[in-house]
Amino acid sequence: MNDEYHLETLAVRAGTLTTEFGENSEALFLNSSFRFKNAAQAAARFGGTEPGNIYSRFTNPTVTMFQDKLAALEGAEQCVATASGMAAILACIMGICSAGDHVVASRSVFGTTVQLFSNILKRWGLEVTLVPLTDIAAWKAAAKPNTKLFFAETPSNPLTEVGDIAKLAEAAHAAGAYLAIDNCFCTPALQQPLKLGADIVIHSATKYIDGQGRVLGGAVLGNKTLMEPVYGFLRTAGVTMSAFNAWVFVKGMETLQIRMEAHAARALAIAQWLEQQPRVARVHYPGLPSHPQYALAQQQQRLGGGIVTFEVKPRAGQSEQEAAWELIDATRLISITANLGDAKSTITHPATTTHSRVTAEARAEAGIRDNLVRIAVGLEHVEDLKNDLQLLSKA
Ligand SMILES: *Cc1c(COP(=O)(O)O)cnc(C)c1O
């Protein structure tokens, strides 16, 4: 099916399994175990000589539908669904790396990913070097004989820097390593990292794949050989996606393409408007010609995505943080929450929330200033969103 149809069609039609009842919308299998005809069939299923479900920690038909649909959208041979985005990153590392292995990661990855690498996996013997996302020479220089994985997110959070996936893949492969891309911000609707040379795609399905802020989930995708140990970790360690959540995601994916186009159209309009406002010092959005990697974004992503970040100009006597907080507290419509990918627009102050556990020096080095505000643009009308930010219009 995958080569024959467009992404929109795959999003609606791929990965559906139907029962004898002929339901037209995907069924939700809320059961932990599966019955066998007899003892011999049980033995064959456990022995792997007969395919089929055994227990929902391993496989579940609704979770299989989620995996097959997302694999079709990313152009991946296999997808392993996980309980959350963090569980996907953990399963990826546990499946692919061993103690003594080295990972080169972008310093601009999701804050909790840095915590997982630097605080937890380090205790188990994983070595991690953080480098600037857009500095390919730094990635190459950081690679060592024991480097197993390059790990990046593009666009990055919160500054929306764009990393060159093809160049990162080339550098990873030259170092004998795999490239994993966290594709949470773009989703396959806007960017397909495997087609650009990446080996592994990671998702927090919690964000745009759900699209309405309901449930947590994640996924790891790649070829069958790479996914075998990832799945092996999952079925043993139990970081499995719940069937209910898989069902929510399957329904969410049907509208992924039109939602991402709508998020991106609104985000671009907001970014262009922000650039005109007297109280805005700088706007970060990959769809703006002023973005440092605009040309790369134009070629690598279908659209700019839904995340816009900007610096608020403090009024006289106001600190950078006060200026950012004043704007956030003046909103009446936009939700003050760190989640993203929801139909409801959300507003965050990265320095004191998502990036508060990062040291002030590391934040400064990464360009995350105290006047920086991130908006994950939802699906409300653009004029209502602009009105909610009108504080920025008054010099
Ligand atoms: C949210 C997020 C994660 C973690 O996902 P959870 O589902 O919250 O565990 C990982 N990467 C990125 C880019 C994210 O935005």
State the total domains in the chain: 2
The last residue of a domain, from among 202, 224, 253: 253
Q: Which of 57, 51, 11 is nearest to 32 (CA)?
A: 57
Phi, psi of 52 (to 5 degrees): 145, 165
Q: Residue 214 and residue 185: Cα distance in Å, rounded?
A: 17
Residue 138 lies in a domain: yes
CATH number at residue 39: 3.40.640.10
Strands 147-153 and 200-204 come out as: unpaired
Domain-located, residue 188: yes
Task: Indicate whether 1 belongs to any domain.
Answer: no
Q: Which domain holds residue 91?
A: 7-253
Whether residue 244 is found in the same domain as residue 266: no
Mention every residue, 6+ apart, whose C-beta is less than 8 A from residue 22.
none
Looking at the structure, do residues 277 and 296 belong to the same domain, yes or no? Answer: yes
Structure tokens at 138: 């730094």
Question: Of 297, 264, 119, which Cα lies nearest the Cα of 196?
Answer: 297
Taking the C-alpha atoms of residue 312 and residue 323, their distance in angstroms, rounded to an integer, is 6
Classify residue 71: in a domain, yes or no.
yes
Which is nearest to 64 in space by CA: 72, 84, 341? 72
| Among 253, 278, 309, residue at a domain's last position | 253
Whether 261 and 246 map to the same domain: the answer is no
Q: pTM of the predicted model, to two decimals?
A: 0.96
Same domain, 42 and 154: yes
C-alpha 348 – ligand 1 centre gap (Å): 15
Is the pLDDT confidence value at 47 over 70?
A: yes
108 with 221, same domain: the answer is yes
Q: Ligand 1, residue 109: give the atom nearest the CA.
A: 13
Residues 148 and 90 in one domain: yes
pLDDT tens digit sequence for 140-184: 999 999 999 999 999 998 999 999 999 999 999 999 999 999 999
pLDDT band at 366 (very low <50, low <70, confident <90, very high): confident
Q: Which residue has the tokens 């007297």?
A: 278
Residues 263 and 245 in one domain: no
Q: Which of 82, 84, 86 to mutate to test the pocket of ligand 1 (most atoms within 8 A of CB)?
A: 86
Inform me whether the pLDDT recorded for 3 exceeds 80: no
185 token code pair: 């911000």
Distance (angstroms) between ligand 1 centre and the Cα of 20 equals 37
Cis omega before residue 61 (within 30°)? Answer: no
pLDDT of residue 80: 98
Q: Which tens digits make up the pLDDT trace of 51-103?
A: 999 999 999 999 999 999 999 999 999 999 999 999 999 999 999 999 999 99
Does 14 map to a domain? yes
Q: What whole-number distance in Å separates Cα of residue 80 and Cα of residue 59?
A: 10
Beta bridge partners of 202: 182, 220
Last residue of a domain, one of 222, 253, 284: 253
Q: Which residues contact 356 (CB under 8 A, 6 or more apart)?
A: none
The residue whose CA is least distant from atom 11 of ligand 1 is: 110
Q: Do 110 and 150 have their domain in common?
A: yes
Query: How much is the pLDDT for 18?
Result: 93
CB 151 within 8 A of CB 168: no
CATH assignment of the domain containing 261: 3.90.1150.10
At 390 the three-state DSSP class reads: helix
Which residues, 6 or more positions from 296, have their beta carbon under 8 angstroms from its beta carbon? 162, 164
Confidence of residue 2 (pLDDT cuts 50, 70, 90): low
- 313 and 222 within one domain: no
Question: Could you give the CA distance from residue 158 to residue 258 in angstroms, rounded to a whole number?
Answer: 24
Pairing of strands 102-106, 127-131: parallel
Same domain, 285 and 337: yes
Assess if residue 213 is contained within a domain.
Answer: yes
Residue 2 belongs to a domain: no
Q: Across the chain, what does the average pLDDT equal?
A: 96
Instruction: Specify whether 228 is located in the same domain as 278.
Output: no
Cβ–ligand 1 distance for 186 under 6 Å, the answer no
In this structure, the strands spanning 307-312 and 372-376 are antiparallel
Tell me: do 246 and 340 sit in the same domain. Answer: no
Closest residue to atom 1 of ligand 1, CA basis: 204
Which residue's CA lies nearest to atom 6 of ligand 1?
85
Of all helices (H) and strands (E), which one includes residue 79? strand 78-82
Atom in ligand 1 nearest the alpha carbon of residue 340:
15
Model confidence band, residue 224 (pLDDT cutoffs 50, 70, 90): very high
Percent of the chain with pLDDT over 70: 99
Q: Which helix (H) or strand (E) holds 284?
A: strand 280-284
pLDDT digits (tens, 9 = 90+) for 120-133: 999 999 999 999 99
What pLDDT digit, counting tens, does each position of 232-248 carry?
999 999 999 999 999 99
Residue with tokens 């097959």: 68
Average pLDDT over residues 354-359: 83
